[in-house]
Structure 1
Amino acid sequence: MIRVGLIGLGMMGRHHARVLQQLEGVDLVAVSDPGGDVHGAAPGIPLYSDVASLIGHGIDAAVCAVPTALHEPVGMQLAEAGVHAFIEKPIAADSAAGQRLVEAFSARGLVGAVGHIERFNPALQELKRRMDAGELGRVLQIATRRQGPFPGRITDVGVARDLGTHDLDLTMWLGGARFQDIQSQTATVVREGREDMIAVTGRLDNGVITNHLVNWLSPMKERVTTVTGEAGAFVADTLTADLTFYENGSVEAEWEALANFRGVTEGNVTRFAFPKPEPLKTEQAAFRDAILHGTTGIVTLEDGLHTLMAAEAVVNRTKTLKP
């Protein structure tokens, strides 16, 4: 059993508390939050107001679900105490802080993971499995749309570091390469100094073209990832955890004008059936297994750092406009 502590019992922390209490091989032995357990997420579990006291309780690993500005100081405390850590995304407030975390955990041989939960969505897990099996052939383009209303709980970062990092991370994971180039446009509408709309185009090191639409300004919530390849296109909806394949076919269209418009031949459309476990449970199990068995299914601190660097490029390589 891994003795785990949870730091932060807010909107995300309460879900971590629920999952950690259900996960085999894990014992949630203590929690910490200066505001207390306002959601009643960990009844009967020792509650501390500071991280040092939590560490003093005796833990092997910790889940850090605190505001982004606290990721580095809390993470460094854990590293110095020899505690494995799962840190919610983004890895830190800026890439310099992220680099310090990477170095601290690496120097001590500790497992460090970042909570990019979209990688563990069943639709994207199934998509990745099928891509790795060669069902799509050569990957040509990855496009994402992540749009919805502004969440009042987000106060410390803009949409690039909050929502955008999901898509930047999953794109590098699916594409099997890191970003070579990023260009973007942003807009600030809701809060001064915090971008809440971005449009990004990029290219991965292996030549895959990417584009991403992300905002907090749409009344329509959508979470869609489309991967186009030689054999067709996969469309993953991570709100419903559905995966659909639009196949390039071999049936020629007899209507000449329609054939010219389509560009490629039309094939079958298939929506797959597959198991759909809760992403947070899959993510926490991967962290557990990395500690116990050295498996590689986590989003590493190095992965999280590169994702944050990409998000910084999104913000810094454009002129921010205020409509």
Structure 2
Amino acid sequence: MTGVLRAGLIGLGSMGRNHARVLATLDGVELAGIVDPLGDRDGRAQGAPVLAGLDELLALGIDYAVVACPTALHEEVGLRLAAAGVCALIEKPLADSVEGARRFVDAFEARDLVAGVGHIERCNPALRSLRSRLEAGELGDVYQVVTRRQGPFPHRIADVGVVKDLATHDIDLTSWVTGQSYTSITAHTVSKSGRPHEDMVSAVGRLSDGTMVNHLVNWLSPLKERFTSVTGERGCFIADTLTADLTFHSNASVATEWEALRAFRGVSEGDMIRYAIPKREPLLVEHELFRDAVRGDSSDICTLRQGLRTVEVAAALLDSARSGRTVLCETGEPARHGR
């Protein structure tokens, strides 16, 4: 597909307005229209026409659409886009049920349409650098991935709990940086804030190569934290995706002879490196990658099947929390780049 691509946006809420901002200035793309039944109350449409329904947007003639409406509406909107032959970038999670996600995949694959899921952590500079270093073997064998994603409740969320909204980030990024699939998950959830969905989850899992996984996710902490560590044969990488910083702590190589320091630093320590990495806005990178995929120039996106896999693991996590048992995850496609 050549020339300027005409893009549509569905949803002008807290995430949709950021999509509108990026689409309005994205090279090679024209923001043709935005669908939101509430209109543009805050002046975030970037000059694009705001429409009441999807039919009006499709009538404008678009090459692809960005779906940023509530999760419960993803399947309905996605199936209509597929039927119209329109490519789509869908905000995560792909759908609010495994069955809905599968119908999503089937609809787009049957028409051979480009579609992806907006798992934006794949575009975070720290995680992209971490993944490249793991692929290059800098850590050696990987033993464990630990993530912490904590903060206060975001009032934009009403239709899903913390597992589908936040933990799906950690499920996808863990598979993506390691190139492995989940094989089992054990989880506990609580609901302390009076809402109908869970607002805290603690999970332990295992990946297809035996790597251990730990996730702590909640909407109950006044501290906002986005932490990922990967421990392996040669040390530990730590990514802070709020600041897009990546550090490496190498295995101990120098004995600590000063006895008083041992209580604080251990009996030996290794080097610590903080990497200088380019820090571009992740949402802009995500849009550039999807634009290129629609053009046929790249396949460096989160595919629908990878998005489906994340929904399946999230469902297994919730099943484990309800049943109090470890749930086995069927072997699926690891979250690799399409290359």
**TM-score normalised over the length of structure 1:** 0.95
Q: 2:37 aligns with which of 31, 34, 37?
A: 34
Report 1:166-181 matches (<5 A): 166-181=169-184
Measure how far apart 1:21 and its partner are: 1.1
Q: Does 1:217 align with 2:227?
A: no
Aligned to 1:117: 120
Measure how far apart 1:247 and its partner are: 0.8
CA contact (8 A) 1:190 1:196 kept: yes
TM-align CA RMSD: 2.0
- Quick one: distance in 2 between partners of 1:115 and 1:271? 28
Greater alpha carbon shift after TM alignment, 184-193 vs 163-172: 184-193
Aligned to 1:289: 292
- Quick one: distance in 1 between partners of 2:195 and 2:47? 42
Greater alpha carbon shift after TM alignment, 226-235 vs 311-320: 311-320
Instruction: Name the SS of the counterpart of 1:34 in structure 2.
Output: coil
Aligned to 1:298: 301
- Quick one: distance in 2 between partners of 1:247 and 1:127? 14
Q: Does 1:63 align with 2:66?
A: yes
Greater alpha carbon shift after TM alignment, 292-301 vs 46-55: 292-301
Q: 2:56 aligns with which of 48, 53, 58?
A: 53
- Quick one: distance in 2 between partners of 1:45 and 1:57? 12
Aligned to 1:131: 134
Aligned to 2:156: 153
- Quick one: distance in 2 between partners of 1:209 and 1:260? 28
In structure 2, relative to structure 1, the CA distance for the partners of 1:140 and 1:259 (3 Å cut) is farther
- Quick one: distance in 2 between partners of 1:20 and 1:43? 9
> Percentage identity across aligned positions?
55
Q: Which amino acid aligns with 1:71?
A: H
User: Structure 2: any 5+ residue segments left out of the alignment?
Assistant: 325-339
- Quick one: distance in 2 between partners of 1:188 and 1:31? 35
Q: Does 1:19 align with 2:22?
A: yes
Aligned residues: 321
Q: Which amino acid aligns with 1:122?
A: P
CA contact (8 A) 1:169 1:307 kept: yes
Q: 2:94 aligns with which of 91, 95, 109?
A: 91
In structure 2, relative to structure 1, the CA distance for the partners of 1:231 and 1:263 (3 Å cut) is farther
Aligned to 1:307: 310
Measure how far apart 1:261 and its partner are: 10
- Quick one: distance in 2 between partners of 1:83 and 1:54? 11
Q: Which amino acid aligns with 1:47?
A: V
Q: Does 1:200 align with 2:203?
A: yes
- Quick one: distance in 2 between partners of 1:264 and 1:85? 54
CA contact (8 A) 1:185 1:320 kept: no
Measure how far apart 1:249 and its partner are: 3.7
In structure 2, relative to structure 1, the CA distance for the partners of 1:43 and 1:291 (3 Å cut) is closer
Aligned to 1:242: 245
In structure 2, relative to structure 1, the CA distance for the partners of 1:131 and 1:81 (3 Å cut) is same
- Quick one: distance in 1 between partners of 2:53 and 2:26? 25
- Quick one: distance in 1 between partners of 2:202 and 2:234? 27
- Quick one: distance in 2 between partners of 1:161 and 1:34? 24
State the Cα deviation string for residues 267-309 of structure 1 (Å, max 9, x = none): 1111111110000000111111111125221111111111111
The runs of at least 4 aligned residues of structure 1 exceeding 6 Å deviation read 255-264
Aligned to 2:283: 280
Q: Does 1:251 align with 2:257?
A: no
State the Cα deviation string for residues 162-195 of structure 1 (Å, max 9, x = none): 0110001100101111100000011011134310
In structure 2, relative to structure 1, the CA distance for the partners of 1:191 and 1:316 (3 Å cut) is farther
Instruction: Name the SS of the counterpart of 2:321 in structure 1.
Output: coil
Measure how far apart 1:22 and its partner are: 1.3
State the Cα deviation string for residues 218-272 of structure 1 (Å, max 9, x = none): 1111000000011110000011111111011422344689889988952111111
**TM-score normalised over the length of structure 2:** 0.90
CA contact (8 A) 1:6 1:62 kept: yes
Instruction: Name the SS of the counterpart of 2:295 in structure 1.
Output: helix
